[in-house]
Structure 1
């Protein structure tokens, strides 16, 4: 039976690649490259943007 779920919109800032590994230029003692991970600041590493209607206004 087909599923009728709508796909979540992809983040426009990272194009769906929310985490990247950045090499620091240093090597570990066993010879591998030392890397750090960086998350997309717009989607916080999820890869999907939050629709505007998901925000809830609090107050008046």
Structure 2
């Protein structure tokens, strides 16, 4: 049975919950592996979620 976890916010719309990515630079290290740069999402600052916004609603007429 699936277990749902509730994050303390909504999934970031900029990175879709994948806040850190590795980008290959095209050069290789001495052992033959690729050099990569780790880049974090600037919108959520690497957390993958953004805080929920509180919305004020007016009830009545």
Question: 4+ residue runs of structure 1 moved beyond 4 angstroms?
Answer: none
Residue segments in structure 1 that go unaligned for 5+ positions in a row: 54-60
User: In the alignment, which residue of structure 1 is the partner of 2:35?
Assistant: 34
CA RMSD of aligned residues (A): 1.5
TM-score with structure 1 setting the length:
0.73
Superposed, which structure 2 residues align to 1:1-60 within 5 Å?
6-7=6-7, 8-53=9-54
Q: Count the aligned residue pairs.
A: 49
Structure (1/2) with the larger strand percentage: 2
Larger radius of gyration: 2
State the TM-score, normalizing by the size of structure 2. 0.72
Query: Which runs of 5 or more structure 2 residues have no equivalent in the other structure?
Result: 55-61
